[in-house]
Amino acid sequence: MGFLKQVLATFIGVCIAAVVLFVIMLIFIGVLIQQTTSPQKAAAVPANSVLYISLNHAIVEKTENNPFEELNIPIYGGERSIGLNDILRRIQSAKTDDNIKGIYLNPTTVGVGFATLKAIRDALADFKESKKFIVAYSDAYSQKAYYLASVADSVYLNPQGSLDFRGLSSSVVFLKDALDKLGVDMQVIKVGTYKSAVEPFLRNDMSPENREQVTSYLQSIYENFLLGIADGRKLEKDSLRTLADAYLIRNAEDALKYRFIDKALYKDQLLSELKRRLAVDEDKDISAVSLLSYTGGLETSSAKDRIAVLYAYGEIVDGEGNFSNIGGDRISRELRKLRRDKDVKAVVFRINSPGGSALASDIIWREVELTRREKPVIVSMGDYAASGGYYIAAAADSIFAEPTTLTGSIGVFGIVPNFKGLLNNKLGIHVDEVSTGKFSSLMTDPDRPLTAEERALIQTEVDRVYATFVARVADGRQLSTAGVDSIGQGRVWSGAQAVSIGLVDRLGNLQEAILAAATKADITNYKVVELPEKEDPFAQLFSTSKDKIKSWILKDKIGEYEKYLIDVKQLLTNTGIQARIPYTVEIY
């Protein structure tokens, strides 16, 4: 009887779980159907409104579908995100929207690179040409947040708030000692004096060459950072450097003294200031619409001629990839479609990538080269277009970058982990095998080091890929192979530096690249289309569920340290020879 009760209880429990799962799936599908079939209504913007911009949420290169972002569903919902493309478009629309009288900018931290940050800042500067106001206010400004806020007409800070201004820094996490303790030997084969992507596995500090290149591009980015603030606040750039070196600005009192802010205000005082600018009575509420909700009123062109903006962002990977990376097959297919489309008169290839698979990079390069023979191809670089990211740009007619873009890194490497110490000595695990040839077990046996002959074979292949990379750049940029090699060797350059050495044609944003494409194609009446098209929510849900769940669990447990484990995993699991920027470059 007890056994039957247990069986019955188990059966009922399974049935209840199945019903609950079925109901959840119905809710998911219902939301998806509603999101995909219901027309998207623009948020109503009352007259005399302000556009509220915080940017304290995820910012990606291009807005993607997430039908669950409004719902408090773990993994899929709750986290709002917006693409840079829509941020710029909405600010541009607000410039001519009669209902929008000004912008209330409220940044605290901004989690994007400096090139993306500058693009947003430039859009805000363009908005000011409408003679509408921009007011910036925060309880605390990070350095990136203040760089953005400095474009405003008036900058305010909470009287007890902080303003961080101490100069930029870039740090790297090194793993050699940890790997030694685990008994893991990372066998690296590379080309490039500056190809430091693998340094975290081999050292406990930066090599002199890596320190040289980081110092160089960091100073270049710092110059542009200071220039932007100096221009926005009408201050001398050299005085800003002095203030940062001495760390003289830390709080509201300091910021007011050195003219970094116009006033120290509490939130109620800030609201009164906004009401004064809007001519709203003190006892009335301010009408505001958030950037996330605002869709703007820009008219779409009905012109037949088109300029296609093809977005490629994330790691470059073999195969299809997904919306968060650059699959060699997927992006190549998009380029082939654009090449055959007679209505597309030019292609703007928007790249924001640290690189990745050398093979996938070459596959994409080939399609860019073929497309350029049929119609103009202009590259627009985001925060990164380095190593493989530069490889896929090299064949374009012209390359645009922001001054703070990180690019170049023309170099390649291969990495073969040897787990002998970990498996044999730490875990007591041994591997034995039978092979049919001398090199049958090359890179398949996890518990032995490479032989000298095996290492030489891999080095030959790495050298071959590097020579091909250099040749692609030399041909695309009309430089000598010796000249490319001299500025290659894995070295990373800022966009401003890349112009001076011939890797980039012009400093400019995406809109300027689009205008250049129109000029090259000799068209004036055209429609801009963005590709790849947004992924179907059903496909996105089921194709990335496992990855999303794993990422969500990892981030929930270890927070911001998740990114370091992801970096290690990518380098350990990437197959083939890699053309990738050194580690994850973060500048604070």
Task: Please list the active-site residues.
Answer: 195, 387
For residues 446 and 423, the answer to whether their CB atoms sit within 8 Å is yes
Residue 401's beta-bridge partner residues? 507
What H or E segment, with its residue span, contains residue 140?
strand 133-141
How far apart (Å, rounded) are the C-alpha atoms in residues 327 and 420?
A: 33
Cα-Cα end-to-end distance for the chain: 67
How far apart (Å, rounded) are the C-alpha atoms in residues 394 and 462?
A: 20
Residue 580's beta-bridge partner residues? 355
For residues 549 and 75, the answer to whether their CB atoms sit within 8 Å is yes
* Angle subtended by helix axes 510-521 and 84-96, to nearest 10: 80
Strands 133-141 and 154-165: parallel
Structure tokens at 322: 């997904």
Contacts of 438 (CB under 8 A, 6+ apart): none
Residue reference for tokens 């893991």: 184
For residues 344 and 303, the answer to whether their CB atoms sit within 8 Å is no
How far apart (Å, rounded) are the C-alpha atoms in residues 145 and 36?
A: 35
DSSP string spanning 60-127? Answer: ESS----TTTTS--TTTSS--EEEHHHHHHHHHHHHH-TTEEEEEE--S---S-HHHHHHHHHHHHHH
How far apart (Å, rounded) are the C-alpha atoms in residues 538 and 452?
A: 50
Q: How many residues does the chain have?
A: 588
CA 337 from centre of chain: 25
Alpha helices in 435-521, H assignment, sequence order = 452-477, 481-487, 495-500, 510-521
Question: Which of the 8 DSSP states describes residue 45?
Answer: -
Residue 187's beta-bridge partner residues? 416
How far apart (Å, rounded) are the C-alpha atoms in residues 534 and 423?
A: 45
How far apart (Å, rounded) are the C-alpha atoms in residues 48 and 286?
A: 9
DSSP string spanning 151-193? Answer: TSSEEEEEEEEEEEES---B-----HHHHHHHT-EEEEEEE-T
Structure tokens at 14: 């399974």
Structure tokens at 60: 């990606």
Count other Cβ atoms within 10 Å, centred on residue 240: 21
Count other Cβ atoms within 10 Å, centred on residue 482: 9
